Amino acid sequence: MKMREVKHGRCAWVVVVAAAALSACSSGPFASRAPLGLSGAPVGGACSAQAAQAVIGKSAVAQVVEQARVAAGARMARVLHPGQMVTKEFDGERLNLEVDARGVIVAVRCG
């Protein structure tokens, strides 16, 4: 009987430790929503593509992409190349920069 109690005690301990470890990885409502760009610039709520239109015609180098992200108030930015496969889910905190074959930004949109 004592051996069975020890086994159950160990199982309970493993479950508690696993639950604690998983809860540390959660992205609940209080998780940090820090920007994913190069700077620590503050980020607003939703992306505004209109505010980042000034980068159209510029080369999509890291500094320009970050400038556009900050101007748009987006949490993250991605560069979309011609023919590149992309996810279709909408993310109101993401700025999309579409580039041509030379890497020049031709369109700016959120999502």
Listed by start position, the domains of the chain span 49-110
Q: Which CATH superfamily is domain 49-110 in?
A: Trypsin Inhibitor V, subunit A (3.30.10.10)
- Cα(67)–Cα(72) distance, rounded to whole angstroms? 9
What pLDDT shows up at residue 15? 45
Q: Specify the pTM.
A: 0.64
Q: Which amino acid is at 54?
A: A
What pLDDT shows up at residue 46? 85
Mean pLDDT by 10 residues, the chain (111 residues): 53 46 45 55 75 97 96 94 93 95 97 91
Residues 66-98 as b/e (b if ≥16 CB within 10 A, e otherwise) read bbbbbbbbbbebbbbeeeeeeeeeeeebbbbbb
- Cα(110)–Cα(96) distance, rounded to whole angstroms? 6
